[in-house]
Structure 1
Amino acid sequence: MANERIMIVEDEKIVALDIKDSLEHLGYSVPCMTSSGEEAIKIANQCHPDLILMDIVLKGNIDGIDAAKVIRENYDIPVIYLTAYSDERTLQRAKLTEPFGHILKPFDERELRTNIEIALYKREKEKEKLFDHEKWITSLHNNFGDAIISTDNNGVIKYMNPFAQALTGYTKEEAMGRQICQIFKVVCEGNRCAEDPTTKILREGAFFGLDDNTTLISKDNTHIPLDVIGSPITNKKNEIIGTVVIFYDITDRKKIERSFRSFEVAYS
Protein backbone atom coordinates (compact mmCIF):
# COMPACT_ATOMS: atom_id res chain seq x y z
CA MET A 1 0.00 0.00 0.00
CA ALA A 2 1.20 3.55 -0.72
CA ASN A 3 0.02 7.15 -0.54
CA GLU A 4 -2.32 6.46 2.38
CA ARG A 5 -2.88 9.50 4.58
CA ILE A 6 -1.80 8.98 8.17
CA MET A 7 -2.44 11.42 11.01
CA ILE A 8 -0.03 11.62 13.96
CA VAL A 9 -1.22 12.47 17.47
CA GLU A 10 1.88 12.77 19.69
CA ASP A 11 2.65 15.25 22.48
CA GLU A 12 6.45 15.06 22.10
CA LYS A 13 7.32 17.20 19.09
CA ILE A 14 10.68 15.53 18.39
CA VAL A 15 9.07 12.08 18.47
CA ALA A 16 6.23 13.26 16.23
CA LEU A 17 8.65 14.66 13.64
CA ASP A 18 10.70 11.45 13.74
CA ILE A 19 7.55 9.39 13.10
CA LYS A 20 6.59 11.75 10.27
CA ASP A 21 9.98 11.27 8.61
CA SER A 22 9.66 7.48 8.93
CA LEU A 23 6.15 7.48 7.44
CA GLU A 24 7.15 9.62 4.49
CA HIS A 25 10.20 7.42 3.92
CA LEU A 26 7.83 4.43 3.77
CA GLY A 27 5.67 6.15 1.15
CA TYR A 28 2.83 7.41 3.31
CA SER A 29 1.68 11.01 3.49
CA VAL A 30 1.19 12.89 6.77
CA PRO A 31 -1.41 15.61 6.16
CA CYS A 32 -1.98 16.53 9.80
CA MET A 33 -0.36 16.35 13.24
CA THR A 34 -1.42 17.44 16.71
CA SER A 35 -0.44 16.99 20.35
CA SER A 36 -3.80 17.00 22.22
CA GLY A 37 -6.86 14.79 22.34
CA GLU A 38 -9.27 17.67 21.81
CA GLU A 39 -7.42 18.83 18.70
CA ALA A 40 -7.18 15.25 17.44
CA ILE A 41 -10.97 14.95 17.37
CA LYS A 42 -11.36 18.28 15.60
CA ILE A 43 -8.62 17.69 13.05
CA ALA A 44 -9.70 14.10 12.30
CA ASN A 45 -13.07 15.45 11.17
CA GLN A 46 -11.40 18.04 8.94
CA CYS A 47 -8.54 15.94 7.61
CA HIS A 48 -10.26 12.52 7.17
CA PRO A 49 -7.06 10.44 7.26
CA ASP A 50 -6.98 6.74 6.38
CA LEU A 51 -5.35 5.90 9.73
CA ILE A 52 -4.36 7.62 12.97
CA LEU A 53 -1.25 6.91 15.05
CA MET A 54 -2.39 7.92 18.53
CA ASP A 55 -0.18 8.38 21.58
CA ILE A 56 -2.12 7.42 24.71
CA VAL A 57 -0.62 10.09 26.99
CA LEU A 58 -1.46 13.51 25.56
CA LYS A 59 -1.65 17.15 26.50
CA GLY A 60 -5.09 18.54 27.35
CA ASN A 61 -8.09 17.28 29.27
CA ILE A 62 -8.57 13.98 27.45
CA ASP A 63 -6.03 11.29 26.67
CA GLY A 64 -5.52 9.31 23.49
CA ILE A 65 -7.93 6.55 24.49
CA ASP A 66 -10.81 8.96 25.04
CA ALA A 67 -9.99 10.78 21.81
CA ALA A 68 -9.83 7.48 19.87
CA LYS A 69 -13.23 6.46 21.25
CA VAL A 70 -14.87 9.65 19.97
CA ILE A 71 -13.12 9.43 16.60
CA ARG A 72 -14.06 5.77 16.13
CA GLU A 73 -17.72 6.35 17.03
CA ASN A 74 -18.20 9.52 14.99
CA TYR A 75 -15.82 9.26 12.04
CA ASP A 76 -15.02 5.53 11.85
CA ILE A 77 -11.28 6.13 11.35
CA PRO A 78 -8.99 3.27 12.46
CA VAL A 79 -6.48 3.97 15.23
CA ILE A 80 -3.12 2.44 16.20
CA TYR A 81 -1.96 3.30 19.69
CA LEU A 82 1.60 4.42 20.40
CA THR A 83 2.59 4.19 24.04
CA ALA A 84 5.42 3.62 26.46
CA TYR A 85 2.90 2.31 28.99
CA SER A 86 1.55 -1.23 29.00
CA ASP A 87 -0.13 -1.60 32.41
CA GLU A 88 -3.23 -3.81 32.54
CA ARG A 89 -5.71 -1.01 33.28
CA THR A 90 -4.52 1.04 30.30
CA LEU A 91 -4.65 -1.97 28.00
CA GLN A 92 -8.21 -2.81 29.08
CA ARG A 93 -9.35 0.77 28.44
CA ALA A 94 -7.64 0.74 25.05
CA LYS A 95 -9.30 -2.55 24.02
CA LEU A 96 -12.75 -1.06 24.48
CA THR A 97 -12.08 1.41 21.66
CA GLU A 98 -11.38 -1.43 19.19
CA PRO A 99 -7.92 -0.25 18.03
CA PHE A 100 -6.30 -1.66 14.89
CA GLY A 101 -2.96 -2.04 16.61
CA HIS A 102 -0.85 -1.21 19.66
CA ILE A 103 2.87 -0.32 19.35
CA LEU A 104 5.12 0.02 22.39
CA LYS A 105 7.76 2.74 22.37
CA PRO A 106 10.53 2.70 21.37
CA PHE A 107 9.81 1.05 18.02
CA ASP A 108 11.68 0.78 14.74
CA GLU A 109 10.59 1.57 11.20
CA ARG A 110 9.98 -2.05 10.32
CA GLU A 111 7.62 -2.55 13.26
CA LEU A 112 5.83 0.66 12.39
CA ARG A 113 5.33 -0.38 8.78
CA THR A 114 4.13 -3.88 9.68
CA ASN A 115 1.47 -2.54 12.05
CA ILE A 116 0.30 0.08 9.56
CA GLU A 117 0.06 -2.43 6.70
CA ILE A 118 -1.96 -4.84 8.86
CA ALA A 119 -4.26 -2.05 10.05
CA LEU A 120 -4.91 -0.76 6.53
CA TYR A 121 -5.54 -4.31 5.29
CA LYS A 122 -8.04 -4.92 8.10
CA ARG A 123 -9.75 -1.63 7.28
CA GLU A 124 -10.04 -2.57 3.62
CA LYS A 125 -11.59 -5.91 4.54
CA GLU A 126 -14.07 -4.15 6.84
CA LYS A 127 -15.14 -1.93 3.95
CA GLU A 128 -15.57 -4.95 1.68
CA LYS A 129 -17.73 -6.69 4.27
CA LEU A 130 -19.81 -3.54 4.74
CA PHE A 131 -20.25 -3.21 0.97
CA ASP A 132 -21.34 -6.85 0.69
CA HIS A 133 -23.75 -6.38 3.61
CA GLU A 134 -25.25 -3.28 2.02
CA LYS A 135 -25.68 -5.14 -1.29
CA TRP A 136 -27.43 -7.95 0.59
CA ILE A 137 -29.75 -5.48 2.36
CA THR A 138 -30.57 -3.73 -0.92
CA SER A 139 -31.27 -7.06 -2.61
CA LEU A 140 -33.48 -8.08 0.30
CA HIS A 141 -35.45 -4.82 0.16
CA ASN A 142 -35.78 -5.00 -3.63
CA ASN A 143 -37.35 -8.43 -3.33
CA PHE A 144 -39.39 -7.69 -0.21
CA GLY A 145 -43.11 -8.31 -0.77
CA ASP A 146 -44.18 -4.86 0.44
CA ALA A 147 -43.40 -1.33 -0.68
CA ILE A 148 -40.54 0.40 1.17
CA ILE A 149 -39.42 4.02 1.25
CA SER A 150 -36.64 5.24 3.55
CA THR A 151 -35.79 8.86 4.31
CA ASP A 152 -33.39 10.97 6.31
CA ASN A 153 -34.55 12.96 9.36
CA ASN A 154 -35.87 15.73 7.12
CA GLY A 155 -38.14 13.43 5.16
CA VAL A 156 -35.89 13.39 2.07
CA ILE A 157 -36.13 10.06 0.22
CA LYS A 158 -32.92 8.02 0.25
CA TYR A 159 -34.21 4.65 -0.94
CA MET A 160 -37.30 3.26 -2.70
CA ASN A 161 -37.82 -0.38 -3.65
CA PRO A 162 -39.56 -1.58 -6.86
CA PHE A 163 -42.87 -2.25 -5.09
CA ALA A 164 -42.97 1.34 -3.81
CA GLN A 165 -42.23 2.57 -7.32
CA ALA A 166 -45.06 0.45 -8.74
CA LEU A 167 -47.64 1.66 -6.21
CA THR A 168 -46.74 5.36 -6.26
CA GLY A 169 -46.11 5.44 -10.00
CA TYR A 170 -42.79 7.25 -9.50
CA THR A 171 -39.43 5.79 -10.51
CA LYS A 172 -36.54 5.71 -8.05
CA GLU A 173 -34.77 8.37 -10.13
CA GLU A 174 -37.80 10.68 -9.86
CA ALA A 175 -38.16 10.11 -6.12
CA MET A 176 -34.59 10.23 -4.79
CA GLY A 177 -33.80 13.50 -3.08
CA ARG A 178 -37.42 14.67 -2.92
CA GLN A 179 -39.62 15.04 0.15
CA ILE A 180 -41.61 11.90 0.90
CA CYS A 181 -44.90 13.86 0.87
CA GLN A 182 -44.24 14.73 -2.80
CA ILE A 183 -44.13 11.05 -3.75
CA PHE A 184 -46.09 9.26 -1.03
CA LYS A 185 -49.31 11.29 -1.37
CA VAL A 186 -51.89 9.94 1.05
CA VAL A 187 -55.28 11.03 2.27
CA CYS A 188 -57.42 9.58 5.04
CA GLU A 189 -61.10 9.42 6.01
CA GLY A 190 -63.01 12.48 4.84
CA ASN A 191 -60.39 13.03 2.11
CA ARG A 192 -58.17 14.85 4.60
CA CYS A 193 -54.41 14.85 3.97
CA ALA A 194 -52.87 12.16 6.14
CA GLU A 195 -49.98 13.02 8.44
CA ASP A 196 -46.46 12.94 7.03
CA PRO A 197 -45.18 9.49 8.11
CA THR A 198 -41.68 10.84 8.82
CA THR A 199 -43.09 13.40 11.25
CA LYS A 200 -45.14 10.71 12.99
CA ILE A 201 -42.11 8.42 13.34
CA LEU A 202 -39.90 11.17 14.75
CA ARG A 203 -42.61 12.09 17.25
CA GLU A 204 -43.91 8.67 18.28
CA GLY A 205 -41.34 6.11 17.16
CA ALA A 206 -42.62 3.00 15.39
CA PHE A 207 -46.30 2.97 14.40
CA PHE A 208 -48.72 0.49 12.87
CA GLY A 209 -51.34 2.34 10.85
CA LEU A 210 -50.88 5.92 9.70
CA ASP A 211 -54.48 7.12 9.88
CA ASP A 212 -58.08 5.94 9.44
CA ASN A 213 -58.78 4.63 5.93
CA THR A 214 -55.44 5.71 4.46
CA THR A 215 -55.49 6.00 0.67
CA LEU A 216 -52.54 6.55 -1.64
CA ILE A 217 -53.01 8.83 -4.64
CA SER A 218 -50.55 7.60 -7.25
CA LYS A 219 -48.87 9.61 -9.99
CA ASP A 220 -51.67 8.75 -12.46
CA ASN A 221 -54.32 9.67 -9.82
CA THR A 222 -55.23 6.07 -8.98
CA HIS A 223 -56.62 5.76 -5.43
CA ILE A 224 -55.18 2.75 -3.58
CA PRO A 225 -56.22 1.83 -0.01
CA LEU A 226 -53.17 1.14 2.15
CA ASP A 227 -51.93 -0.22 5.43
CA VAL A 228 -48.84 1.71 6.57
CA ILE A 229 -46.08 0.82 9.06
CA GLY A 230 -43.37 3.28 10.11
CA SER A 231 -40.15 2.80 12.05
CA PRO A 232 -37.08 4.89 12.95
CA ILE A 233 -33.57 4.07 11.69
CA THR A 234 -30.98 4.45 14.44
CA ASN A 235 -27.19 4.51 14.64
CA LYS A 236 -24.87 2.76 17.13
CA LYS A 237 -25.66 5.40 19.76
CA ASN A 238 -29.41 4.78 19.33
CA GLU A 239 -29.89 8.21 17.75
CA ILE A 240 -32.54 8.46 15.03
CA ILE A 241 -30.86 9.11 11.68
CA GLY A 242 -33.77 8.37 9.35
CA THR A 243 -37.07 6.60 8.86
CA VAL A 244 -38.45 3.64 6.96
CA VAL A 245 -42.05 3.49 5.75
CA ILE A 246 -43.55 0.15 4.68
CA PHE A 247 -46.94 0.09 2.95
CA TYR A 248 -49.07 -2.38 1.04
CA ASP A 249 -52.17 -2.41 -1.13
CA ILE A 250 -55.27 -3.65 0.75
CA THR A 251 -57.73 -3.29 -2.15
CA ASP A 252 -58.68 -7.00 -2.00
CA ARG A 253 -59.21 -6.84 1.76
CA LYS A 254 -61.50 -3.83 1.34
CA LYS A 255 -63.53 -5.69 -1.31
CA ILE A 256 -63.98 -8.65 1.02
CA GLU A 257 -65.01 -6.34 3.87
CA ARG A 258 -67.62 -4.67 1.64
CA SER A 259 -68.93 -8.07 0.54
CA PHE A 260 -69.34 -9.16 4.15
CA ARG A 261 -71.15 -5.94 5.02
CA SER A 262 -73.49 -6.39 2.04
CA PHE A 263 -74.12 -9.99 3.11
CA GLU A 264 -74.92 -8.93 6.67
CA VAL A 265 -77.32 -6.22 5.49
CA ALA A 266 -79.08 -8.61 3.10
CA TYR A 267 -79.68 -11.22 5.81
CA SER A 268 -80.25 -8.97 8.82
Structure 2
Amino acid sequence: MTDERIMVVEDEKIVALDIRDSLESFGYNVPCMASTGKDAVEMAKIHNPDLILMDIVLKGDMDGIEAAGIIHDDSDIPVIYLTAYSDEKTIARAKLTSPFGHILKPFETRELRTNIEIALYKRELEKEKVQDNQNWINSLMSNIGDAIISTDAQGRVEFVNPLAQALTGYKQEEALGKPIEEIFRVICEENGKKAPDPTRKVMNEGAFYGLQDKTVLVSRENIRTPIDVIGSPIRNSHNEITGTIIVFYDITDRKNVEKSFLNYSFNYNDNQAVNH
Protein backbone atom coordinates (compact mmCIF):
# COMPACT_ATOMS: atom_id res chain seq x y z
CA MET A 1 0.00 0.00 0.00
CA THR A 2 1.34 3.43 -0.99
CA ASP A 3 0.87 6.64 0.95
CA GLU A 4 -0.94 8.42 -1.90
CA ARG A 5 -4.62 9.08 -1.31
CA ILE A 6 -6.87 9.51 -4.34
CA MET A 7 -10.44 10.77 -4.31
CA VAL A 8 -12.88 9.63 -7.00
CA VAL A 9 -15.62 11.97 -8.24
CA GLU A 10 -18.05 10.10 -10.49
CA ASP A 11 -21.87 10.15 -10.55
CA GLU A 12 -22.23 6.67 -12.06
CA LYS A 13 -21.92 4.38 -9.05
CA ILE A 14 -20.84 1.28 -10.96
CA VAL A 15 -18.13 3.24 -12.78
CA ALA A 16 -16.99 4.84 -9.50
CA LEU A 17 -16.71 1.45 -7.79
CA ASP A 18 -14.80 0.02 -10.75
CA ILE A 19 -12.32 2.93 -10.62
CA ARG A 20 -11.94 2.52 -6.86
CA ASP A 21 -11.20 -1.20 -7.26
CA SER A 22 -8.59 -0.42 -9.92
CA LEU A 23 -6.91 2.17 -7.71
CA GLU A 24 -6.79 -0.15 -4.74
CA SER A 25 -5.34 -2.89 -6.92
CA PHE A 26 -2.56 -0.44 -7.86
CA GLY A 27 -1.86 0.05 -4.16
CA TYR A 28 -3.46 3.48 -3.75
CA ASN A 29 -5.74 4.49 -0.90
CA VAL A 30 -9.24 5.77 -1.77
CA PRO A 31 -10.42 7.71 1.31
CA CYS A 32 -13.69 8.87 -0.24
CA MET A 33 -15.88 9.06 -3.33
CA ALA A 34 -18.24 11.83 -4.38
CA SER A 35 -21.05 11.90 -6.92
CA THR A 36 -21.71 15.66 -7.14
CA GLY A 37 -19.55 18.74 -7.52
CA LYS A 38 -20.73 20.14 -4.21
CA ASP A 39 -19.83 16.93 -2.35
CA ALA A 40 -16.45 16.88 -4.09
CA VAL A 41 -15.60 20.37 -2.81
CA GLU A 42 -16.61 19.49 0.76
CA MET A 43 -14.83 16.11 0.79
CA ALA A 44 -11.65 17.64 -0.61
CA LYS A 45 -11.59 20.02 2.36
CA ILE A 46 -12.15 17.20 4.84
CA HIS A 47 -9.86 14.51 3.41
CA ASN A 48 -7.25 16.63 1.57
CA PRO A 49 -6.32 13.86 -0.92
CA ASP A 50 -3.10 13.84 -2.92
CA LEU A 51 -4.99 13.62 -6.22
CA ILE A 52 -8.57 13.79 -7.49
CA LEU A 53 -10.01 11.86 -10.42
CA MET A 54 -12.84 14.12 -11.55
CA ASP A 55 -15.62 13.33 -14.01
CA ILE A 56 -16.53 16.52 -15.87
CA VAL A 57 -20.26 15.88 -16.30
CA LEU A 58 -21.92 15.48 -12.91
CA LYS A 59 -25.51 15.60 -11.71
CA GLY A 60 -26.59 18.75 -9.93
CA ASP A 61 -25.86 22.46 -10.34
CA MET A 62 -22.05 22.17 -10.22
CA ASP A 63 -20.13 20.23 -12.85
CA GLY A 64 -16.67 18.78 -12.43
CA ILE A 65 -14.87 21.75 -13.97
CA GLU A 66 -16.50 24.23 -11.60
CA ALA A 67 -15.79 21.95 -8.64
CA ALA A 68 -12.15 21.53 -9.71
CA GLY A 69 -11.78 25.30 -10.01
CA ILE A 70 -13.00 25.83 -6.45
CA ILE A 71 -10.74 23.06 -5.15
CA HIS A 72 -7.76 24.49 -7.04
CA ASP A 73 -8.31 27.92 -5.49
CA ASP A 74 -8.81 26.53 -1.98
CA SER A 75 -6.09 23.90 -1.73
CA ASP A 76 -4.41 23.42 -5.11
CA ILE A 77 -5.00 19.63 -5.06
CA PRO A 78 -4.08 18.21 -8.49
CA VAL A 79 -6.94 16.99 -10.65
CA ILE A 80 -7.13 14.52 -13.53
CA TYR A 81 -10.32 14.80 -15.58
CA LEU A 82 -12.18 11.69 -16.66
CA THR A 83 -14.68 12.42 -19.41
CA ALA A 84 -16.32 11.21 -22.59
CA TYR A 85 -16.47 14.78 -23.89
CA SER A 86 -13.60 16.26 -25.88
CA ASP A 87 -15.18 19.28 -27.59
CA GLU A 88 -13.08 22.44 -27.74
CA LYS A 89 -15.35 24.46 -25.43
CA THR A 90 -15.17 21.83 -22.67
CA ILE A 91 -11.41 21.44 -23.05
CA ALA A 92 -10.92 25.24 -22.95
CA ARG A 93 -12.93 25.48 -19.70
CA ALA A 94 -11.04 22.57 -18.19
CA LYS A 95 -7.64 24.14 -18.98
CA LEU A 96 -8.49 27.18 -16.86
CA THR A 97 -8.35 24.98 -13.74
CA SER A 98 -4.77 23.81 -14.49
CA PRO A 99 -5.48 20.04 -14.54
CA PHE A 100 -2.66 17.49 -14.30
CA GLY A 101 -4.24 15.22 -16.89
CA HIS A 102 -7.25 14.54 -19.10
CA ILE A 103 -8.37 10.95 -19.81
CA LEU A 104 -11.10 10.16 -22.31
CA LYS A 105 -13.62 7.44 -21.52
CA PRO A 106 -13.55 4.55 -22.03
CA PHE A 107 -9.97 4.05 -20.88
CA GLU A 108 -7.67 1.16 -20.10
CA THR A 109 -6.56 0.61 -16.49
CA ARG A 110 -2.94 0.88 -17.63
CA GLU A 111 -3.67 4.33 -19.10
CA LEU A 112 -5.28 5.36 -15.81
CA ARG A 113 -2.33 4.17 -13.76
CA THR A 114 0.22 5.86 -16.04
CA ASN A 115 -1.58 9.20 -15.85
CA ILE A 116 -1.84 8.95 -12.06
CA GLU A 117 1.85 8.19 -11.64
CA ILE A 118 2.83 11.07 -13.95
CA ALA A 119 0.53 13.48 -12.10
CA LEU A 120 1.85 12.47 -8.68
CA TYR A 121 5.44 12.76 -9.90
CA LYS A 122 4.79 16.24 -11.33
CA ARG A 123 3.19 17.22 -8.05
CA GLU A 124 6.25 16.16 -6.07
CA LEU A 125 8.52 18.10 -8.42
CA GLU A 126 6.37 21.20 -7.95
CA LYS A 127 6.45 20.81 -4.17
CA GLU A 128 10.24 20.53 -4.21
CA LYS A 129 10.53 23.56 -6.49
CA VAL A 130 8.18 25.61 -4.32
CA GLN A 131 10.05 24.59 -1.17
CA ASP A 132 13.42 25.44 -2.73
CA ASN A 133 12.08 28.82 -3.85
CA GLN A 134 10.49 29.46 -0.45
CA ASN A 135 13.72 28.60 1.36
CA TRP A 136 15.62 30.99 -0.90
CA ILE A 137 13.03 33.76 -0.44
CA ASN A 138 12.96 33.30 3.35
CA SER A 139 16.76 33.42 3.49
CA LEU A 140 16.79 36.60 1.40
CA MET A 141 14.08 38.31 3.46
CA SER A 142 15.75 37.29 6.72
CA ASN A 143 18.97 39.06 5.78
CA ILE A 144 17.58 42.15 4.09
CA GLY A 145 18.06 45.48 5.85
CA ASP A 146 14.34 46.36 6.15
CA ALA A 147 11.57 44.87 8.28
CA ILE A 148 9.33 42.52 6.28
CA ILE A 149 6.02 40.78 6.97
CA SER A 150 4.28 38.62 4.36
CA THR A 151 0.66 37.46 4.45
CA ASP A 152 -1.67 35.14 2.58
CA ALA A 153 -4.71 36.38 0.64
CA GLN A 154 -6.76 36.57 3.84
CA GLY A 155 -4.21 38.80 5.55
CA ARG A 156 -2.86 36.06 7.84
CA VAL A 157 0.83 36.30 8.68
CA GLU A 158 3.09 33.79 6.87
CA PHE A 159 6.54 35.23 7.48
CA VAL A 160 8.18 37.80 9.78
CA ASN A 161 11.86 38.58 9.34
CA PRO A 162 14.14 39.27 12.34
CA LEU A 163 13.98 43.07 12.06
CA ALA A 164 10.18 43.00 11.87
CA GLN A 165 10.15 40.73 14.93
CA ALA A 166 12.27 43.26 16.82
CA LEU A 167 10.11 46.24 15.88
CA THR A 168 6.71 44.58 16.46
CA GLY A 169 7.75 42.58 19.55
CA TYR A 170 6.38 39.33 18.11
CA LYS A 171 8.49 36.28 17.31
CA GLN A 172 7.70 34.51 14.06
CA GLU A 173 6.22 31.43 15.76
CA GLU A 174 3.87 33.70 17.71
CA ALA A 175 2.82 35.69 14.66
CA LEU A 176 2.22 32.89 12.14
CA GLY A 177 -1.44 32.52 11.20
CA LYS A 178 -2.57 35.62 13.04
CA PRO A 179 -4.32 38.51 11.23
CA ILE A 180 -1.65 41.06 10.38
CA GLU A 181 -3.47 43.85 12.20
CA GLU A 182 -2.78 42.03 15.48
CA ILE A 183 0.96 42.11 14.80
CA PHE A 184 1.42 45.20 12.69
CA ARG A 185 -0.40 47.95 14.60
CA VAL A 186 0.02 51.35 12.99
CA ILE A 187 -1.46 54.71 13.93
CA CYS A 188 -1.38 58.23 12.50
CA GLU A 189 1.31 60.35 14.10
CA GLU A 190 -0.82 63.51 14.17
CA ASN A 191 -4.01 62.24 15.84
CA GLY A 192 -3.19 58.78 17.22
CA LYS A 193 -6.00 57.15 15.24
CA LYS A 194 -5.61 53.80 13.51
CA ALA A 195 -3.83 54.19 10.18
CA PRO A 196 -5.17 52.57 6.98
CA ASP A 197 -4.31 48.87 6.68
CA PRO A 198 -1.83 48.63 3.78
CA THR A 199 -2.62 44.95 3.20
CA ARG A 200 -6.27 45.71 2.49
CA LYS A 201 -5.35 48.52 0.13
CA VAL A 202 -2.94 46.26 -1.74
CA MET A 203 -5.47 43.39 -1.97
CA ASN A 204 -8.29 45.69 -3.08
CA GLU A 205 -6.31 47.72 -5.57
CA GLY A 206 -3.76 45.11 -6.67
CA ALA A 207 -0.98 47.65 -6.64
CA PHE A 208 1.80 49.12 -4.52
CA TYR A 209 0.65 51.23 -1.59
CA GLY A 210 2.65 53.33 0.84
CA LEU A 211 2.29 55.05 4.19
CA GLN A 212 5.07 57.58 4.54
CA ASP A 213 6.31 60.02 7.15
CA LYS A 214 3.24 60.30 9.39
CA THR A 215 2.86 56.67 10.49
CA VAL A 216 3.79 55.18 13.88
CA LEU A 217 4.18 51.48 14.69
CA VAL A 218 2.94 50.46 18.14
CA SER A 219 4.81 47.37 19.34
CA ARG A 220 3.64 44.60 21.61
CA GLU A 221 5.35 46.43 24.50
CA ASN A 222 3.59 49.67 23.46
CA ILE A 223 6.83 51.16 22.13
CA ARG A 224 6.08 53.70 19.42
CA THR A 225 8.36 53.88 16.39
CA PRO A 226 7.91 56.26 13.44
CA ILE A 227 8.07 54.25 10.23
CA ASP A 228 7.67 54.40 6.48
CA VAL A 229 5.63 51.55 4.97
CA ILE A 230 5.36 50.06 1.49
CA GLY A 231 2.95 47.25 0.63
CA SER A 232 2.97 45.19 -2.57
CA PRO A 233 0.96 42.22 -3.88
CA ILE A 234 2.21 38.64 -4.24
CA ARG A 235 0.96 37.06 -7.46
CA ASN A 236 0.99 33.48 -8.71
CA SER A 237 1.70 32.28 -12.25
CA HIS A 238 -1.92 33.12 -13.21
CA ASN A 239 -1.44 36.74 -12.08
CA GLU A 240 -3.83 36.17 -9.17
CA ILE A 241 -3.05 37.95 -5.90
CA THR A 242 -2.20 35.32 -3.29
CA GLY A 243 -0.91 37.58 -0.53
CA THR A 244 1.00 40.72 0.34
CA ILE A 245 4.48 41.80 1.39
CA ILE A 246 4.76 44.69 3.82
CA VAL A 247 8.15 46.40 4.01
CA PHE A 248 8.74 49.01 6.71
CA TYR A 249 11.67 50.74 8.37
CA ASP A 250 12.43 52.86 11.39
CA ILE A 251 12.73 56.57 10.52
CA THR A 252 13.51 57.80 14.07
CA ASP A 253 16.91 59.16 13.03
CA ARG A 254 15.41 61.04 10.12
CA LYS A 255 12.73 62.49 12.38
CA ASN A 256 15.35 63.62 14.88
CA VAL A 257 17.37 65.32 12.14
CA GLU A 258 14.26 67.06 10.85
CA LYS A 259 13.33 68.18 14.36
CA SER A 260 16.85 69.51 15.00
CA PHE A 261 16.78 71.38 11.71
CA LEU A 262 13.40 72.95 12.51
CA ASN A 263 14.58 73.98 15.97
CA TYR A 264 17.75 75.46 14.48
CA SER A 265 15.76 77.38 11.87
CA PHE A 266 13.34 78.65 14.50
CA ASN A 267 16.11 79.83 16.83
CA TYR A 268 18.08 81.35 13.97
CA ASN A 269 15.09 83.36 12.75
CA ASP A 270 14.38 84.55 16.30
CA ASN A 271 17.98 85.72 16.75
CA GLN A 272 17.93 87.50 13.45
CA ALA A 273 14.74 89.30 14.44
CA VAL A 274 16.25 90.40 17.78
CA ASN A 275 19.46 91.65 16.17
CA HIS A 276 17.50 93.76 13.78
1:110 alignment counterpart: 110
* SS of residue paired to 2:226: strand
Q: CA deviation at 1:113?
A: 0.8
Normalising by structure 2, what TM-score? 0.77
String of CA shifts for 1:47-89, please: whole Å, max 9, x gaps.
2111111122222223222222222222211111112222333
- Indicate if the aligned counterparts of 1:78 and 1:123 stay in contact, CA closer than 8 A: yes
Could you say if the C-alpha distance between residues 151 and 12 of structure 1 is closer, same or farther in structure 2, counting changes exceeding 3 Å? Answer: closer
Q: In angstroms, what is the RMSD of aligned CA positions?
A: 3.5
Q: Unaligned 5+ residue runs, structure 1?
A: none
Which residues in structure 2 correspond to 1:179-218 (within 5 Å)?
Answer: 189=189, 193-195=192-194, 198=197, 201-202=199-200, 207-209=209-211, 212=214, 214=216
Q: CA deviation at 1:31?
A: 1.4
Q: CA deviation at 1:91?
A: 2.2
Which residues in structure 2 correspond to 1:256-267 (within 5 Å)?
Answer: 256-267=257-268
Q: Tell me how far apart the structure 1 counterparts of residues 156 and 55 of structure 2 sit (CA, whole Å).
A: 41
- In structure 1, what residue type is equivalent to 2:79? V
String of CA shifts for 1:166-195, please: whole Å, max 9, x gaps.
3345543455566767765666547x6452
2:272 alignment counterpart: none
Q: Tell me how far apart the structure 2 counterparts of residues 12 and 178 of structure 1 sit (CA, whole Å).
A: 43
* SS of residue paired to 1:209: strand
Q: CA deviation at 1:118?
A: 0.2
1:227 alignment counterpart: 228
1:43 alignment counterpart: 43
* SS of residue paired to 2:49: coil
Could you say if the C-alpha distance between residues 127 and 12 of structure 1 is closer, same or farther in structure 2, counting changes exceeding 3 Å? Answer: same
- Indicate if the aligned counterparts of 1:151 and 1:242 stay in contact, CA closer than 8 A: yes
Q: Tell me how far apart the structure 2 counterparts of residues 107 and 233 of structure 1 sit (CA, whole Å).
A: 40
Which residues in structure 2 correspond to 1:1-268 (within 5 Å)?
Answer: 2-150=2-150, 157-168=157-168, 171-173=171-173, 175-176=175-176, 189=189, 193-195=192-194, 198=197, 201-202=199-200, 207-209=209-211, 212=214, 214=216, 219=221, 224-230=225-231, 244-268=245-269
- In structure 1, what residue type is equivalent to 2:164? A
- In structure 1, what residue type is equivalent to 2:200? L
Name the count of aligned residue pairs. Answer: 264
Q: Tell me how far apart the structure 1 counterparts of residues 153 and 85 of structure 2 sit (CA, whole Å).
A: 44
- Indicate if the aligned counterparts of 1:188 and 1:215 stay in contact, CA closer than 8 A: no
Q: CA deviation at 1:4?
A: 1.2
String of CA shifts for 1:179-238, please: whole Å, max 9, x gaps.
767765666547x6452664x64378665337736365684x866433234557688796
Normalising by structure 1, what TM-score? 0.79
- Indicate if the aligned counterparts of 2:22 and 2:109 stay in contact, CA closer than 8 A: yes
Task: Give the share of equivalent positions with the same residue, in percent.
Answer: 59
Q: Unaligned 5+ residue runs, structure 2?
A: 270-276
Could you say if the C-alpha distance between residues 218 and 264 of structure 1 is closer, same or farther in structure 2, counting changes exceeding 3 Å? Answer: farther
Q: CA deviation at 1:115?
A: 0.6
Q: Tell me how far apart the structure 1 counterparts of residues 187 and 99 of structure 2 sit (CA, whole Å).
A: 51
Q: Tell me how far apart the structure 2 counterparts of residues 153 and 89 of structure 1 sit (CA, whole Å).
A: 31
- In structure 2, what residue type is equivalent to 1:202? R
